[in-house]
Chains A and B, each alone.
Chain A
Amino acid sequence: MTLIQPHEKSLVSPYFAFYLIVSMQIGVGILGFQRYIAKSSGHDAWMTVMIAGVAIHALVWMCYSLLNNSGGDLVSIHEQLFGKWVGAVFSTLFFLYAVFLALTALRTYIEVIQVWMFPHINAWGIGFLLIFVAYYFVSGGFRIVTALSFFCVLIGTPIIFLKYFALKNSHFYNLLPLFDHSLMDYYAGTKAMTLNFLGFEMLLMYYPFIKNPASSHKWSQWGAFFTLCIYTLTALESFAYYSQGQLKHTIWATVTIWKIVEFPFIERFEYIGISMWLFVILPNIVISIWVATRIFKRVYTIKQKYSIFPIMLLLWIGCFIFKDRQFIDALNTYVSRIGYYLIFFYIPLLFIIQRIVLKVKGTKHAKI
């Protein structure tokens, strides 16, 4: 396998881990996650957001423990634990997962555009354009990718303040009574929430690109916390604004709330909001593609500048295949489910296996 340590020039400072985590975790999900989590746990669902968020903190800690012990990225962890060939298979699966994550973000955003802005626009046309923009960033290398995620947080964060407009029409009694659901309902809600928190696991691949990577842990945790706060705020606001009956029929709850935003010179904010959301979606697509090409480079020693084209083609074909609401919903559900198993079962599993291997080998070598 190729070198683990990337070039000094492409390294980024530890605090960028914050932006990388946040920009990857916030994406299309936040535009319409309320309906999914409210399905099972109703007006209590904002608590499931917090539960899922806290779990993410633990998983981020696990990822760092894994990475610090191995000193490389996911591919080297796989190789150390499972050997070259089996490890390559697992890495390839993670590659597919990254591609699907990019596709989910891309296709869902295009759906939002189709629903809210241009009803008749071709998914493959606008998809091609967005993929090209993503290519422009990925081809700039990891520093540019990081910069994009930084600007994404910078441009996206002010949108939080628009929640003020909904506050005026909110009924916080909607949230009461607390603890109105069974434990299984909370579990189901937490599971449904996973898709929105997905993305932090890309850390497993870009970890070597952070200067003093171990010191970036606290920044990643802060990033996860920031995401948690944003999702909780959004959930609280939506549950206070909508009744549960309304929420059942509102696919894009956040975008619908934007409709009530009113300035003296802007009446329908959602057009601006959805356009600005491009900057929030782009890091999702860009980081995923970058991770996919990076895995390819590490496992099959194919240069990133070549492997990016087949990946872009795959994404583009995806735009043709996933045509309507049912398909896109299925894509989201399946990726969410895969992500759920990946982060709640696979990462802990890796963590345990590594601990055992370290214990066994520990007497002979200090580190693997």
Chain B
Amino acid sequence: MFGFSKNKAKKKKQQDSSAGASGGGDITFAELIKKCEQSHDFVTFKKGVDHPFTLYYYKAMVNPLVIHQILLPQLIQHTDVSLKKLEKLLSLESTVYTNDVQKIQNSILTGSIFICSEHEKGYGILVPAATAEKRTISIPETEFSVIGPKEAFVETIEVNMNMIRKRLPIPELQIKEMRIGKLSKTRVAILFIDGIANKENIETVTQRIEKIEYDHIIDSNYVLQMITDKQTSIFPQLINTERPDRVASVLAEGKIAVLVDGSPSALTGPTTITEFFSSFEDYFLSWHVASFFRLIRLFGVLFSVLSTPLYVAVLTFHYEIIPSDLLGTLIASRSGIPFPPIVEAIILELAIELLREAGARLPSKVGQTIGIVGGIVIGTAAVQAGLTSNVLLIIVALAALASFTTPVYQMSNTIRLLRFPLIIFAQFWGMLGVAICSALLLGHLLRLTSLGRPYLEPIFPLRLADFRDALFRLPFNKQTRRPEHLLTQDPNRLNKQRVNKKDDIDE
């Protein structure tokens, strides 16, 4: 009992100290200024000794133009006005007259200038003058599309919001904003369309983001991992996208998006596993082509996950499966190789992973070279040296290629990792091992949820209506209703009768 309370006290203390680190607590204005002045970029500026007004700001955070062109001319002209009067004189919006130390602190730290007068103790005006360097909007790189918009999110949340609002200019598009992270105080925005998005989903996201406890939030992927349903899972349960067009489109479907300041990608959810294999370009192509590519991608995933394990299983245990004509080729390719299939497979798989990782870490120009050098030179050398078989090299290279067709980066990582447990099971129990491992995988996928909604939908629970935009994509006039699994407030996308009205011949 006592131990428990002691523990609690300790915890409390810890909380206090961390609160101290983030600069909260009840302190007076003088103390605040003293604390800030310890840092060299904090400026306390007074125009002349007997000038009544003093400016406090962080040099790195404010736009000098605001001081030079707006504040100083007024301050020089009017030396004997009250703060209230001065506030009116300034040609700036959303200035605040306050004596709340906490508020002053927060504002100064995010780029406001605090103006104090000698005549009014404690009070002052907060002038927003934040400056933020923006990267220019560039083309999407991880989710590149041949046709369609070529805008990608940047690190500034305002720009990102602008890109989304531009695409959905309706008052129903609402943004809930909050700050998380004890040290970073990162701005996080939850976007949804009121009247379409399911209230429960919004509630879930808001609650989970509010619950986040961490000292710094640098990127939306931090948030993704913290609000995801099952953090132990290898599968991503929310989509991370860098395309504002994709976000706008899923918002219109009734999903919820999360933007994080400083992160060039947005999170969207709730999502299903099929969405990870749909590229946004699918909507720009005609539906036949899009459906075909989606099925190709799905086949690519299956091939990528299963091909090497099946090679190991078949060559270790069940070579009877291979027809005699094909067996000749295989034997010729494998005859001089000193390793069992599992060693061969693991060496090659690891080599491919090494190449990929090296290519990703190096600057893009060198990275390309590494890919080519690695792929051609090392592969050919390994085969000629008799370390691996030609057939396996083909399989592994194709499997790697197939894994890159997955449009969502997180998912393609998952898929590349998935084959390793399968290879091990295949080595232990052959084909049966592959089946057992797949069964376990199926069990895992069945347990997953995304914001509380089933992950394998529309396959399980079976919702035939949602197949219209899952494994394949039907034409737009068939997409009359929003996905059922989102439980939207307004399930109708368009007027079905009007869209599908067929005119008579010669009418």
Interfacial residues, chain A to chain B (CB-CB below 8 A): 12-13, 15, 113, 117-118, 126, 129-130, 133, 136-137, 140, 143-144, 147-148, 150-151, 262, 264-269, 271-272, 274-276, 278-279, 282
Q: B4: shortest Cβ distance to chain A, in Å? A: 28
B234 within 8 A of A: no
**In the bound complex, CA of A133 to CA of B429 (Å):** 14
- Establish whether residues B320 and A117, one from each chain, have CB atoms under 8 Å apart when the complex forms: no
Q: Which residue of B lies closest to A121 (CB)?
A: B429
B323 x A275 contact (CB < 8 A): no
Residue B2 interfacial (CB < 8 Å):
no
Interface centre among B323, B326, B432, B446 (most CB of A within 10 A): B432
Q: Is the CB of B443 within 8 A of A136?
A: yes
Docked CA distance A319–B268 (Å):
48
> Which residues on the A side are within 8 Å of B435 (C-beta)?
275-276, 278-279
What chain A residues lie within 8 Å of B460 (beta carbons)?
A: 147, 150-151
Contacts of A15 in B (CB 8 A): 462
What are 19 contact pairs spanning A and B, CB under 8 A? A12-B461, A118-B429, A118-B432, A140-B447, A147-B456, A150-B462, A265-B323, A266-B321, A267-B322, A268-B318, A268-B320, A269-B321, A271-B320, A272-B431, A274-B431, A275-B430, A275-B435, A278-B435, A278-B439
Residues of chain B within 8 A (CB-CB) of A148 are 442-443, 446
Minimum CB–CB distance for A61 against chain B, Å: 25
Are B443 and A117 in contact, with the CB atoms below 8 A? Answer: no
Could you tell me if B436 and A133 are in contact, using CB atoms closer than 8 angstroms? yes
A144 near B447 with CB under 8 A, answer yes
Contact with A along B321-359 (1 / 0, CB 8 A): 111101000000000000000000000000000000000
Within 8 A of A (CB), among B127-182: none
**A269 neighbours in B (Cβ, 8 Å):** 321
**16 extra interchain contacts, Cβ-Cβ under 8 A, other than A144-B447, A148-B443?**
A12-B461, A118-B430, A140-B447, A147-B460, A148-B442, A150-B460, A150-B462, A151-B460, A266-B323, A267-B321, A267-B323, A268-B321, A269-B321, A271-B321, A272-B431, A279-B439
CB < 8 Å neighbour of B446 from A113, A144, A265, A267 = A144
**Nearest Cβ in chain B — how far from A128, in angstroms?**
11
A278 to B456, CA, bound (A): 21
What's the least CB distance linking B401 to chain A, in Å?
Answer: 20
The residues of A that contact B326 with a CB separation of less than 8 Å are 265
Known contacts A136-B443, A144-B446, A282-B439: does B323 contact A274 (CB below 8 Å)? no
Smallest distance from the beta carbon of A226 to chain B beta carbons, Å? 16
In the bound complex, residues from chain A placing their C-beta under 8 Å from that of B92 are: none
Q: What string of 1s and 0s marks CB contacts (under 8 Å) between B75-97 and chain A?
A: 00000000000000000000000
Closest partner residue, chain B, to A276 (CB atom):
B435
How far apart sit A349 and B324, CA to CA, in the bound complex (Å)? 59
> Within 8 Å CB of B447, what residues of A?
140, 144
Residues of A within 8 A of B373 (CB): none
Is the C-beta of B434 less than 8 angstroms from some C-beta in chain A? Answer: yes
Interface status of B440 (Cβ within 8 A of chain A) = yes
Is the pair B324, A267 in contact by a Cβ cutoff of 8 Å?
Answer: yes
A137 to B439, CA, bound (A): 9
Kindly provide the distance from the CB of A348 to the nearest chain B CB, expressed in whole angstroms.
34
CB pair B431 A133 closer than 8 Å: no
Please, how many angstroms separate the alpha-carbon atoms of A147 and B462 in the complex? 10
- Size category of the binding interface on chain B: 20 to 34
Closest residue of chain B to A141 (Cβ to Cβ) is B447
Within the complex, the shortest CB–CB distance from B285 to chain A, in Å, comes to: 29
Closest beta carbon of chain A to B62's beta carbon, Å: 53
Interface residues, chain B, with chain A CB atoms under 8 Å away: 317-318, 320-324, 326, 429-432, 434-436, 439-440, 442-443, 446-447, 456, 460-462
> Chain B nearest CB: distance from A1 CB in Å?
29
Closest chain B CB from A256 CB (angstroms): 15
For B429, what are the chain A residues with a Cβ–Cβ distance below 8 Å? Answer: 118, 126, 129
Contact between A278 and B440, CB atoms less than 8 A apart: no
Tell me, in angstroms, the Cα distance from A150 to B460 when the chains sit together: 8
Quote the shortest CB–CB distance from B382 to chain A (angstroms).
25
CA distance A118 to B460 in the complex (A): 34
Asked if B431 and A13 make an inter-chain contact with CB atoms under 8 angstroms apart, the answer reads no
| B494–chain A nearest beta-carbon distance, Å | 28
Q: Out of A13, A267, A278, which one reaches B436, CB within 8 Å?
A: A278
- CB nearest neighbor in A for B430: A117
A278 B323 Cβ-Cβ under 8 A: no
Contact A272 B321 (CB under 8 A): yes
Known contacts A144-B446, A150-B462; A275/B434 CB under 8 A: yes
Nearest first, the 3 A-B pairs at minimum CB distance are A275-B431, A275-B435, A278-B435
Q: Which chain B positions have C-beta within 8 A of A268?
A: 318, 320-321
Residues of B within 8 A of A151 (CB): 442, 460
B-chain residues with CB within 8 Å of residue A266 when the two chains form the complex: 321-323
Compute how far the CA of A302 lies from the CA of B164 in the bound complex, rounded to whole angstroms: 54
Q: Which residues of B contact A126 (CB under 8 A)?
A: 429, 432
**What is the CA–CA distance of A12 and B446 in the complex, to the nearest angstrom?**
14
Return chain B residues, CB-CB under 8 Å to A143. 446
- Does B320 lie within 8 Å of A140, measured CB to CB? no
What's the nearest-Cβ distance from chain A to residue B436, in Å?
6
Interchain nearest-CB distance for B455 vs A (Å):
11
Residue in chain A with minimal CB distance to B318: A271
Q: Return the contact of B432 from the options A140, A144, A264, A275 (Cβ within 8 A).
A: A275
The listed residue with most B CB atoms (<10 A of its CB), out of A129, A130, A144, A275, is A275
B323 touches A264 (CB 8 A): yes
Given A140-B447, A264-B323, are A117 and B432 also a contact pair (CB < 8 Å)?
A: yes
Determine the chain B residues whose CB is within 8 A of the CB of A117 once the complex forms: 317-318, 430-432
- Closest residue of chain B to A137, judged by CB? B443
In the bound complex, how far is the Cα of B430 from the Cα of A118, in angstroms? 9
Task: Give complex CA distance A126, B435 in Å.
Answer: 13
Q: How far is the CA of A186 from the CA of B119 in the complex (A)?
A: 110
Q: Nearest A residue to B439 by beta-carbon distance?
A: A133
Distance, CA A268 to CA B440, complexed state (A): 26
Q: Which residues of A contact B317 (CB under 8 A)?
A: 117-118
Hey, which chain A residues are within 8 Å of B318, CB to CB?
A: 117, 268, 271
Chain A residue at smallest Cβ distance from B310: A272
Among the listed A12, A118, A136, A150, which residue makes an inter-chain contact with B440, where contact means beta carbons less than 8 Å apart?
A: A136
A47 to chain B minimum Cβ distance, whole angstroms, is 34
Q: Which among B320, B326, B439, B456 has the greatest number of chain A C-beta atoms within 10 A?
A: B439
Within 8 Å CB of A282, what residues of B? 439
Inter-chain contacts of A150 with B (CB < 8 A): 460, 462
Asked whether A274 lies within 8 Å of B461 as measured between CB atoms, the reply is: no
Shortest C-beta distance, B461 to chain A (Å), equals 7
- Name the B residues within 8 Å of A267 (CB-CB): 320-324
A267 to B326, CA, bound (A): 10
Question: Which interface residue of B323, B429, B443, B461 has the most chain A CB atoms within 10 A?
Answer: B443
Chain A residues with CB under 8 A of B322 = 265-267
Q: For A271, what are the chain B residues with a Cβ–Cβ distance below 8 Å?
A: 318, 320-321, 430-431
Shortest Cβ distance from A262 into B: residue: B323
Known: A13-B461, A267-B324, A279-B439. A140 touches B431 (CB 8 A): no
CA distance A279 to B446 in the complex (A): 14
A328 to chain B, nearest CB (A): 18
Measured CB to CB, the nearest residue on chain B to A278 is: B435
How far, in angstroms, from A13 to B457 measured CA to CA in the complex?
14
Verify A147–B321 contact, CB threshold 8 A.
no
Q: Report the minimum CB–CB distance from A282 to chain B (whole Å).
A: 6
Rounded to whole Å, the gap between the CB of B126 and the closest CB of chain A is: 49
Cα A265 to Cα B324 in complex, Å, equals: 9
Complexed CA–CA distance, A133 and B443 (Å): 9
List B contacts of A265 (CB < 8 A): 322-323, 326
Cα A12 to Cα B436 in complex, Å, equals 25
Chain A residues near B461: list those with CB within 8 A: 12-13
CA distance A264 to B321 in the complex (A): 11
